[in-house]
Structure 1
Amino acid sequence: MKEFKTKDIFNISIIGSASIGKTSFADAVLYNVGVATRQGKVDDGTSLLDYESDEQSRKLTISSAMFHVESDDKKINFIDTPGYPAFVSQEISAINVCESSLVILGAVAGVEVLTKKCWKYSDSEDQSKFVFINMMDREGSDFYGDVEQARSRLSKKIYPIFLPIGNGSAFKGIVDIITQKAFYEGDGKITEKPIPDDMKSLVEKYRSELIEAVAENSEVLLEKYLESGELTETELMQGLKLGIISNDIVPLMAGSALANIGVKKCLEYIIKLAPNPEDKAKLIKCIDDKGQEELKRVGVDGPTLLQIFKITDEPKIGEFFYFKVKQGTVTQAQELIDTNSKQKERLGHLYVFNGKNREEVPSLYPGDIGATAKLKHIMIGDTLYGGKDNIQIELFKFPVTVITQAVEAHSEKDREKIGEGVQTLNKVDPCFQYENRAEFNEMVISGMSKLHIEIMVEKIKKKYNVEIELKKPKIPYRETIRKMASAQGKYKKQTGGHGQYGDCHIEIMPTPLGTGYSFVNKIVGGAIPGKYIPAVDKGVQDAMVKGILAGYPMVDIQVKLYDGTFHAVDSSDLAFQMAGRMAFKSAAEQAESVLLEPIMNVKVIVPDDYVGDVTADFNQRRGKIIAMEAVEDGMKMINVHVPMAEMYQYSIDLKSMTKGEGVYTKQFERYEQVPSSIVKQVIEENKVE
């Protein structure tokens, strides 16, 4: 394979909502450049990019896929990303390593909720953008309405450079505003013709808008435009590229990926206009040797520096680690340092991919994307470095998971296999997480949606041949007391020979919520020898593990040991542990035990139109509105404290209430007493066995 220098490398992430033809566009590109002998299709399972069995059976993209094309001594790396929020980690990592994004819109669907989210991710990484309105051959398509919608919902800097010839079944080609020519496509051929008479005024309108936007990005071009009122095609392209690099212009194109109309011309413009890694060079947040953040400009020259952005677990092959070369040249068998774990890693063979097909390469230059296999300690986001100083590129920022389920295995052997499976999937997808809750001997998994959990569980079932049942996770309730109480604990046992004797008097009292447990020794005069005091403390804490109401741990209690007796021969640590345990249980029964529940701090962002429905729903969930504020045009953030027990599968309800436009985060805030009206119900439903 030919080697490509940084100036000739271009990285494009294909992003957008689900079911609008991102993968179909990619398959059309691969067919047009001769990588594929026929155009793959998602619906019939022949796509080169949706090659996993789960993707083919569900007919949707689950994992991002890499492919590249070579043209005019240039290499263009594309990353096709999933459109469902379930797989947002794939999209975020792809955006992080690409200088540009191609945003696909559906001609009928227009700008969807997920499109806006994709756009925001792209903006956060300072990407340049191109827009392609797909499915122009669908009935109900409205190109000009889509343009205005895109300008109002995404960016006012969007400027069409293609206009469609016809809509719906009458769609047959595009008008190129820059060259002022019409291109009709069919049967794999492109025919150039003059612009149709009924489109000339539209072409003039949008071309004038484009020229004005281009002129504003260059003093030289602005002066030329003011003098002559026109720019040459060459000048227009020069100014357009400057505007794209600076994010002041977003060119918009149109076509149909399935019909392969407009795709070739779109690729031509991406090759001519997309910025290379040097054009979008930026300061990278790094961590120095002292753990402090610093901004470092990463250039072409210097020790090899790369960042892992994707990991796959391939059947019969093992793991592949995909990386972006940030600096220096990567070669086979090169030894680098994982600056996170400080472990050495030796690279194996290097590969570039077109879907599942891989090609070995001897080296990769700065800005390029490739993969290697069988690294030992690496996780997504980790940095590999060949220099002597410590450079750790800032990790990708993934969203917090929003849905949690408990996993029940049919056997201990299955449980071990499931544990191995969730660890592997967490490595592949950081937004799929797991936790073993020792309190309930329960494994819980978390993800971004119900679909996300379902697909991950199916992967584990299939790979490890296990049965998995998903259940509602248990709530970590706690117990405490509401008044002071005193009690004696006396443990006396005689079994022949030395016996067991321990005697203690304690006083327990409630402390403010969240202050935890404390033990106070008030023994005077040697009533209990000092060597047995820790044993009493241990016995008390052992008793607190299981409360008297429902068997939950007891918290926020001060225990004062103030008296006791001992036996010179029969007393022991074990005896005083038992005495402490007995004393605490006796005192707790007198101290008005109450049940505490975990309260979550929830922040929901929704369009103004849904604020009423969302707040009303929180009232039904025993939520307390803490704050509400505008965060952007037409959107509000609602901050509410809600019992954890009321938040089960909230993401599903929020999606239904807001038609998918609402997003939320949650984190533990504190414990509060369960209202007396529902204590009995909660105890019956959640009593610890």
Structure 2
Amino acid sequence: MGDKTSTQSGAAGRAATADRPGSVRNVVLVGHSGSGKTTLVEALALATGAINRAGRVEDGGCLSDYDEIEHRQQRSVQLSLVPVQWDGVKINLLDTPGYADFVGELRAGLRAADAALFVVSASQDALGIAGATRMVWDECAAVGMPRALVITHLEAARASFEEMTELCRQTFGGEDPDAVLPLYLPLRGEPGPDGHAPVTGLIGLLSQQVYDYASGVRTEATPTPGQLPLIEEARNRLIEGIISESEDETLMDRYLGGEEIDVKTLIGDLEKAVARGSFHPVLAAAPAAEGSKQGLGTTELLELITGGFPTPLEREAPTVTTPQGKPCPRLTCDPEGPLAAEVVKTSSDPYVGRISLVRVFSGTLRPDETVHVSGHGLEDRGHEDHDVDERVGALSAPFGKAQRMLSQAIAGDLACVAKLNRAETGDTLSAKDQPLLMETWEMPDPLLPVAIRAHSKADEDKLSQGLGRLVAEDPTMRLEQNQDTHQVVLWCLGEAHMDVALERLRSRYGVQVDAVPYKVSLRETFGARSAGRGRHVKQSGGHGQYAICEIEVEPLPEGSGIEFVDKVVGGAVPRQFIPSVEKGVRAQAARGVAAGYPLVDVRVTLLDGKAHSVDSSDAAFQTAGALALREAAADTRIHLLEPVVEVSVLVSDEYVGAVMSDLSGRRGRVVGTEQSGGGQTLIRAEVPEIEIGRYAVDLRSLSHGTGRFNRSYARHEPMPTQVADRIREQAEA
């Protein structure tokens, strides 16, 4: 970095390969939607020779965002791997969506990577560092993942590298803002007609060299006498920041004593500090202009990745056990070690079938070998547990729509595996004679319900299979067959997540579905004691139907269900027909007695009745029991019971008032708050479920993307009269 020179070693049309873990860098790009992550990936691919012109691979296809949905929505919606080669190092660039609805794809990228590149747009001002981006930064900090920042969109009017760098220092520096410092300062050319001066080059703060990109190819030059004073303050601050992170305790004293520290020593200490995650350099980048071979700052960024970011050898692998839970020795990144790989993403190709993106943590994965597939299982999300052997298909490196064949994938590398029909995201691949299971990684809980139904009979026949494949691809989605409302419900992370899921069902699996209003599982109960008489008497020639029963119904405490008590005396209802009355009562209770919701928490007592020696039957007394319950319901107030959920909302302190006010407006009861550290507050509340169907979307808007919540069922309780009346009117309409 700073005074190094590197050469391109990639080539368009050839797969990037790695022969040892030390020659691999796995880097995930993180940033707000629109910050320029995908454009930056394309600029790096162009600089390494992986593509022959901006955004195009050798066969003419787009490098990334090639999915039909991404083209239509003009944004990334899935994790993309772009492998490139630079100076003998294979760099696996993991491009993640910036929109909050696709945080599952981001988490997959974090799992697969060893370092993170945070991309911040100078044109978005303070919005360029969104709350969600700050949360990801904190997640990376918690696990010690090395991070660097890249400021993009410097060509925009009023864009300021200096102002955005200072904002990054304040936002990400925490107690040590000098751990976030630029390595280069942008140089601007002559102002254009609009008065805006374009960035044409960079000046290295350590090397004190000018790197000029004005010609489309990076050239080095000696700075003019007037340029050096412009970088003196920033250079001194950077040197002090590097020395403060140095393992050489004498370095600071020597520097303060006036000694000129050798640039190579500073670069060595800088690279070590970056690799261990204690120093976070800031760089600038811009895409290549038409006809240019290099985008601004791409060489400097590649030097940082290859020289400063850690190899897989330096990152600790996830903990492993046997599939039965027995602890195993910790994995090391050794190509000769036991095979341990993880599926970080699952996708489907209409021609190839299922494709699994795999990170190899130990051993070497080869085509056509049999591996063991172990999974934790996510039954609540429609994912079965796995403990099976499968044959690995071809190994490949993705490049746009193309898949370039690989002979193997060594420890530390990433590869796509074809035809793993049982493996899903999060599953472990290991040797069949030495099965392993990796610790699970955190996945966000989908909290936006979307009820769907097949558009036609033809779609209905394909719906089950299509939904199964969709959920297998996306572990952040949960499929529910609601037994109370008889609805098929997809639980998603947000509206954009829902739109993409429904579009994939249509375009990828040929299943057209309609979204319908989501129904909450309401209940009914009696408000007071009541009595009813069921009379079912019919004579139409031959055997008739004769059954009369009298019942009394009284409400019970919550959770009591339906109790049936027999108090018939004198054989008014023959013993063989008493179970028939109970069956009819329970069947009617399941159908509801007022608005069509199940009746609960009542005691039904059979008091009296009449029978006929010839015309009475099991069916007649079932009907009489149902009629008696309906008559009893007509003579008293029926309460509608709604589910109440316990909600825990974690939100930044600045939004606590707005969130609590919003919960109150949803008929919620705040039961407590507590400080959670890091300027956040945990709000606990009880809210009717019918009021929070869209809370996943609304909370994101209220908290500017910083709020998170979870929910759990608490109980059913009576619904307010005015709300219940509205529900009844809708049921009768």
TM-score (norm 2): 0.84
Alignment counterpart, residue 36 of structure 2, candidates 5, 10, 21: 21
Alignment counterpart, residue 170 of structure 1, candidates 185, 198, 209: 198
The alignment status of 1:183 with 2:216, answered yes or no, reads: no
Distance 1:199 1:588, change over 3 A: farther
Distance 1:550 1:469, change over 3 A: same
Alignment counterpart, residue 65 of structure 1, candidates 56, 80, 87: 80
Alignment counterpart, residue 296 of structure 2, candidates 240, 248, 261: 261
Alignment counterpart, residue 325 of structure 1, candidates 333, 352, 360: 360
1:424 aligned residue:
469
Structure 1 vs Structure 2: percent identity of aligned residues?
29
C-alpha contact 1:95 1:121 (8 A) present in aligned 2 = no
* 1:1-40 to 2 correspondences below 5 Å: 2-40=17-55
Aligned partner of residue 308 in structure 1, secondary structure? strand
1:152 aligned residue:
170
Distance 1:345 1:437, change over 3 A: same
Deviation at 1:610, TM superposition (A): 3.6
1:297 aligned residue:
330
Unaligned runs of 5+ in 1: none
Pairwise CA RMSD: 3.2
**2:266 counterpart letter in structure 1:** L
The alignment status of 1:51 with 2:96, answered yes or no, reads: no
C-alpha contact 2:641 2:717 (8 A) present in aligned 1 = yes
**2:313 counterpart letter in structure 1:** E
Alignment counterpart, residue 227 of structure 1, candidates 254, 267, 271: 254
C-alpha contact 1:542 1:581 (8 A) present in aligned 2 = yes
1:335 aligned residue:
370
C-alpha contact 1:483 1:509 (8 A) present in aligned 2 = yes
C-alpha contact 2:545 2:620 (8 A) present in aligned 1 = yes
Greater Cα offset, 60-69 or 647-656: 647-656
Greater Cα offset, 86-95 or 668-677: 668-677
Aligned partner of residue 437 in structure 2, secondary structure? coil
Greater Cα offset, 181-190 or 560-569: 560-569
Q: How many residues are matched?
A: 683
Alignment counterpart, residue 80 of structure 1, candidates 81, 95, 103: 95
**Structure 1 CA distance, aligned partners of 2:75 and 2:27?**
20
* 1:596-635 to 2 correspondences below 5 Å: 596-635=641-680
Deviation at 1:278, TM superposition (A): 1.8
Deviation at 1:590, TM superposition (A): 4.2
**1:638 counterpart letter in structure 2:** I
C-alpha contact 1:162 1:176 (8 A) present in aligned 2 = yes
C-alpha contact 1:83 1:114 (8 A) present in aligned 2 = no
Distance 1:251 1:515, change over 3 A: farther
**1:325 counterpart letter in structure 2:** V
**Structure 2 CA distance, aligned partners of 1:152 and 1:632?**
18
Aligned partner of residue 545 in structure 1, secondary structure? helix
**Structure 2 CA distance, aligned partners of 1:385 and 1:525?**
72
1:386 aligned residue:
431
**Structure 2 CA distance, aligned partners of 1:536 and 1:238?**
86
**Structure 2 CA distance, aligned partners of 1:99 and 1:445?**
33
**Structure 2 CA distance, aligned partners of 1:197 and 1:180?**
11
TM-score (norm 1): 0.89
1:607-659 deviation line (CA, Å, top 9, x unaligned): 44443333333333222222233434444343332223323434444444444
Alignment counterpart, residue 194 of structure 1, candidates 206, 222, 239: 222
**Structure 1 CA distance, aligned partners of 2:456 and 2:354?**
28
**1:558 counterpart letter in structure 2:** R
C-alpha contact 2:556 2:601 (8 A) present in aligned 1 = yes
1:274 aligned residue:
309
Distance 1:3 1:288, change over 3 A: closer
1:415 aligned residue:
460
Distance 1:290 1:557, change over 3 A: farther
1:310-368 deviation line (CA, Å, top 9, x unaligned): 11112322221111112111111111121231111110111112232221112111111
**Structure 2 CA distance, aligned partners of 1:580 and 1:390?**
58
1:381-401 deviation line (CA, Å, top 9, x unaligned): 111221545532233322222
**Structure 1 CA distance, aligned partners of 2:614 and 2:275?**
86
1:311 aligned residue:
346
1:288-312 deviation line (CA, Å, top 9, x unaligned): 55557x5852122532111111111
Aligned partner of residue 51 in structure 1, secondary structure? coil
**Structure 2 CA distance, aligned partners of 1:573 and 1:245?**
79
C-alpha contact 1:306 1:384 (8 A) present in aligned 2 = yes
Distance 1:466 1:518, change over 3 A: same
Deviation at 1:601, TM superposition (A): 2.9
Alignment counterpart, residue 395 of structure 1, candidates 430, 436, 440: 440
**2:82 counterpart letter in structure 1:** F
Greater Cα offset, 312-321 or 485-494: 485-494
1:230-252 deviation line (CA, Å, top 9, x unaligned): 54333223322332233211121
Deviation at 1:215, TM superposition (A): 3.7
1:111 aligned residue:
129
Unaligned runs of 5+ in 2: 1-14, 190-195, 290-294, 376-385
Deviation at 1:116, TM superposition (A): 1.6
Aligned partner of residue 50 in structure 2, secondary structure? coil
1:594 aligned residue:
639
